[in-house]
Every structure is written in C-alpha cells, then in structure tokens.
C-alpha cells in the first residue's frame, strides 16, 4: 500500500501555518502589500523570516497537547491554556491542522478537537522504516559474523 509522503505533508503544514501567521501579522500592522512567492508551494519557505519557526513550534506543541485525547477530545479554552496561547491563535492553528487532515472536531461535539489517524500513520511509517533497517542490519551482521569453531 502506498502511503502519503509524510515529510511533504509536514512541510506543507509548516508553510501553510507560516503564511497564515505572516498574513495575520501583516493585517495587524496595517500592511496591505502582497508578499512574493505566495503560491509557490515550498519555495515560500526559502524566504521565511525568523518568526516562522515559532509558528511551527507552536503547532507542534498543539499536536502534543492533543495527543492522548482521541475519544473525548479537548475544548478550545483548556487547549489554549495548555499550550499557552490565546484562544484565537489556537483556533487558527487548529483550523490549519484541520484543513491539512491532522485535526478534526469530534462529530456531535463540535466544540471538542482531536487528532486524526494521519498522525498515527506517520508514526507507523517511522516504526516500519526502523524495523526494515533493523532487519537489514541483522542480515549484514549474520553475513559478517564468523561461526564458532
């Protein structure tokens, strides 16, 4: 089964969140100019300013905060408090995660958020790669180990 390329998904998530944060800050500063490279995909990350790693760090903190809350989920206010951000910033980050398929509102409880199985698929792909490489190293070890006399 072909799985999606998690690295590209995470890069896309990071770029999307960086662009949203930059747009928000530009709006707050009253700037109306359009930045170059807006629809250039990953090319926009080459012109990223130092503030963009903060957006990525904040989003990863949000993912970690949602981990372990798949059944009940978390409401916005407690989640915002847990990650140390305002509710509006947390909601914007959740919406970005939702648009990329990493978070969702719990059906029937739209005030609660949880991670989707997409995160698990990334972890599973990582675990599978480690297992493949471990088996490969074991084969090499067997081929180069001398049998006892």
Is residue 143 one of the residues assigned to a domain? no
| Residue 65, domain CATH | 1.10.10.10
pTM over 0.95: no
124 with 35: CB under 8 angstroms?
no
Number of domains in the chain: 1
Instruction: Indicate whether 133 belongs to any domain.
Output: no
Which residue range is the domain that position 28 belongs to? 6-32+48-116
What are the tens digits of pLDDT across the range 20-58?
766 666 666 654 444 444 444 444 444 444 567 888 889
Whether 98 is in a domain gets the answer yes
What's the CA gap between 145 and 139, in Å, rounded?
10
Q: What digits encode the pLDDT tens for the residues 91-143?
A: 999 999 999 999 999 999 989 999 999 988 998 999 999 999 999 998 888 88
List the alpha helices (DSSP H) in 39-86. 52-66, 76-83
Residue 127 maps to a domain: no
Assess if residue 137 is contained within a domain.
no
Residue 78 burial (CB count, 10 A): 11
Is residue 92 included in any domain, yes or no? Answer: yes
Nearest to 20 by CA among 46, 66, 62, 51: 51
Measured CA to CA, the distance from residue 99 to residue 83 in angstroms comes to: 20
Find how far residue 31's CA is from the centre of its chain. 28
């Amino acid at each position: 089964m072909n799985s999606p390329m998690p690295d590209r998904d995470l890069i896309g998530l990071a770029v999307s969140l960086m662009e949203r944060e930059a747009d928000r800050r530009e709006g707050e500063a009253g700037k109306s100019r359009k930045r170059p490279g807006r629809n250039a995909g990953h090319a926009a990350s080459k012109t990223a300013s130092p503030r963009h790693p903060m957006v990525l760090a904040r989003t990863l903190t949000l993912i970690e905060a949602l981990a372990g809350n798949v059944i009940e989920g978390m409401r916005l206010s407690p989640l915002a408090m847990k990650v140390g951000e305002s509710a509006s910033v947390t909601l914007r980050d959740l919406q970005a995660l939702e648009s990329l398929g990493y978070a969702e509102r719990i059906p029937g409880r739209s005030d609660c958020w949880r991670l989707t199985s997409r995160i698990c698929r990334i972890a599973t792909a990582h675990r599978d790669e480690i297992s493949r490489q471990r088996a490969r190293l074991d084969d090499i070890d067997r081929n180069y180990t001398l049998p006892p006399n």
